[in-house]
Chain A
Amino acid sequence: MSASVASARSGRSWLSALARWETLLIGAIAGLIVLGALLSPFFLTPGNFANLIAALMEVAIMALPMTLIIVAGEIDLSVESMAGLASSLLGFLWAAGVPLGVAIPVVLLVGALGGLLNGLLVARGGLPSLVVTLGTLALFRGLALIVLGPRGISNFPPAFTELGFGHVPGTLIPWPFVIFLGLAAILGIVLHRTWIGRQIYAIGKNTGAARFSGVRVVRVRTGLFVLSGLVAALAGIILTSRLSSARADAGAGMTLTVVTVVLLGGVNIFGGSGTIPGVALAVIAVAVMQNALRLASVTVEVQSIALGLLLILSVVIPNFAHRAKSAIDRVRGARPPPADSVRHGETASW
């Protein structure tokens, strides 16, 4: 967010390039790779890299629409439960003898409808997305439990499990990674190169101004939640395929990782700024970190400490950098800031 301001100032361009969030992320990834290589000789093998990416793909795919939603100043906590509902429904339909060619579109439709419910309550009802999606977090998980109960369905055909488990022929690239790249390319272009993307930024920066400029705020917001539900259902299908098992508790706890990845990618939690390439870098950073921790035999449960700290730090560090920068500018007297502009910055960070 401060990068464009910094690069406009002459003389310190290398410094501002260094301070760019994406640059910091690349540095962090490099550091983690070195650390991982020191921890284990297996870290730098292609097979390990394929595993490390594959394990995080559902989270990465859900992080893409979440990026758009947070840029627009909202949040969707219900994605993990929608993934669970998708897995549960797919298993139920398959066990009932419905062919996958029919079941998968039905599941995706249910995902879009769940997203529509969120979207209507938030955009049209004017309710805070935090509470609405906390409600649907419980609702979707409850529906998943009602549909499938405690059982697991695991007799899926090999052609289906190949989707989540297999690789592109001749390489070690997992199929879910291809889906992620495709979706990232589409949403990246939409966000950064089209009028829809500009409207999303406008809504996140100043909803009132966006509305007066003719942005159909309700329609854009609703659309974003529909997209989020649809993609969460897709992630649920991929998860079912990768684990070759449909369960009602699939995806439990993933929302935390999704939000962490998005904020670590430099997306401002208050809306209005953030990029898809940044989030893609954050996906790699988190994947490498989790893999390094696993090689250091830190259990998944204890890894949640690192993840929670990362989530908080990804908001704290930009906050402090922003405040430190304005303090330095003030001391240098480069541009005496008007009193009310300073207060503006402070209320925004609160």
Chain B
Amino acid sequence: MADSGVVVGPMPARTRGQWLAVVARQRELSLLAIMLVLGGLVTLTAPQFLTVSNLSQVAVLAALIATAAVGEALVVITRNVDLSVEATMGLVAYCVASLLERHALDTPGAIAFGLGLGLVLGMINGVVVTVFRVPAIVATLGTLSVFRGVDYLIAGSHQVPLAGLPPGFTDAARDSVLGIPIFVLIAMIIVVIGSAILRWTRFGRQLYAVGSNPEAAAILGIPSRLVVFTAFTLCGLLAGVAGILYIMEFGTINGTSATGLVLAVVAAVVVGGVNIFGGSGTLAGAALGALFLGFIANALILVGLSQFWLQAIYGLVILIAVSADAIILRRIQRATAARRVR
């Protein structure tokens, strides 16, 4: 697809290539650096940015998106995409909230049901992609529509109010342990466990193998379809977790809850340095990407720009991140090719 391999003139290949390789590999570091600089600039114009309450508010919202983004990253690493995460989040959020409102289940039971529902919805995506062999984009665009339709069908015009939830249910969004908000702890635990699985288990290595070269993975005897199915299932499960966090954060749930969040989730993954061609990227990167987006959203409001700019900026961030990835990748390839010639 890419017109790579075009060598343009001589250049100091070695040093430049190495420098770019460092930047590319340390996407997490460069994101942090950009956030520090931006944070400094915003603090100059709006001092309330650098307060504990504001920063923890940013982190709590980012943790919600980060949870879903970790699942999305698993799928994107296998060279697929899941556009249905927002519908999974919405459906899980409404079902759990509704069960709690009608006292059909107690709190742990309802949460377990929500996680199970997310898992099943993820499995449906996995089956459509791996068994029915529908490309992920079409499959998840379809299930986005189906899951959202089911959500409307169940919810109708009903809205679960904050008062309908058990007392204390939404406290988790505001409480913290040892000064760290509970949401952030949950997201961190998910990132740590997920990263450990990717790094030290066979499944983790298979995930990267399937994404970086499906044909080679098949020749090596890796069960690619099972790996992709598992990635979609885990993505559904994590979207379920994010759906439950959504109830705790916002309290009021109806059939349209979580609409439009898929763009934030995909943007977080792309900004976090997960390669959209599959095969590379880290879960910590995806989570940092979510933090970066939350940070920008907060800075926008504090600087006094209207909320309407947010969507345009998400779009720009996706385009810039993808272009930067492609440019860096091409430079590295060119540099390594030049080195080999030497």
A residues lining the B interface (CB < 8 Å): 75, 121, 125-128, 130-132, 134-143, 145-146, 149, 207, 218, 256, 259, 263, 269-270, 299, 301-309, 311-312, 315-316, 319, 347, 349-350
**Contact A311 B142, beta carbon cutoff 8 Å:** yes
Give me 29 A-to-B residue pairs in the complex whose CB atoms sit less than 8 angstroms apart, sorted by A's number.
A75-B137, A121-B319, A125-B323, A126-B1, A126-B3, A134-B263, A134-B318, A135-B315, A135-B318, A137-B263, A139-B312, A139-B319, A143-B312, A146-B306, A149-B306, A256-B141, A259-B141, A269-B138, A301-B153, A301-B255, A303-B149, A304-B145, A304-B149, A305-B145, A308-B144, A312-B132, A312-B142, A315-B135, A315-B138
Q: How large is the interface on B (under 10, 10 to 19, 20 to 34, 35 or more residues)?
A: 35 or more
Known: A142-B310, A142-B311, A316-B134. A121 touches B323 (CB 8 A): yes
Known: A303-B149, A304-B146. A126 touches B318 (CB 8 A): no
Q: Which of A75, A143, A308 contacts B145 (CB 8 A)?
A: A308
Residues of B within 8 A of A256 (CB): 141, 144-145
**Contact A312 B139, beta carbon cutoff 8 Å:** yes
The distance in angstroms between the C-alpha atoms of A30 and B144, with both chains bound, is 29
B residues lining the A interface (CB < 8 Å): 1-4, 81, 128, 132-135, 137-139, 141-146, 148-150, 152-153, 214-215, 255, 263, 266-267, 270, 276-277, 306, 308-316, 318-319, 322-323, 326
How many residue-residue contacts, CB under 8 A, span A and B?
A: 144
**Contact A301 B267, beta carbon cutoff 8 Å:** no
Residues of A within 8 A of B215 (CB): 347
The distance in angstroms between the C-alpha atoms of A303 and B149, with both chains bound, is 7
**Contact B312 A145, beta carbon cutoff 8 Å:** yes
Measured CB to CB, the nearest residue on chain A to B2 is A126
Residues of B within 8 A of A130 (CB): 81, 137, 276
The distance in angstroms between the C-alpha atoms of A101 and B290, with both chains bound, is 44
**Contact B314 A138, beta carbon cutoff 8 Å:** yes
Within the complex, what minimum Cβ distance (angstroms) separates A267 from chain B?
11
Measured CB to CB, the nearest residue on chain A to B316 is A139
Within the complex, what minimum Cβ distance (angstroms) separates A309 from chain B?
6
Within the complex, what minimum Cβ distance (angstroms) separates B51 from chain A?
28
Residues of A within 8 A of B326 (CB): 125-127
**Contact A308 B4, beta carbon cutoff 8 Å:** no
Residues of A within 8 A of B143 (CB): 308, 312
**Contact A131 B276, beta carbon cutoff 8 Å:** yes
Within the complex, what minimum Cβ distance (angstroms) separates A321 from chain B?
13
The distance in angstroms between the C-alpha atoms of A137 and B99, with both chains bound, is 35
**Contact B152 A301, beta carbon cutoff 8 Å:** yes
Known: A125-B323, A132-B322, A304-B146. A312 touches B138 (CB 8 A): yes
Residues of B within 8 A of A121 (CB): 319, 322-323
**Contact A302 B138, beta carbon cutoff 8 Å:** no
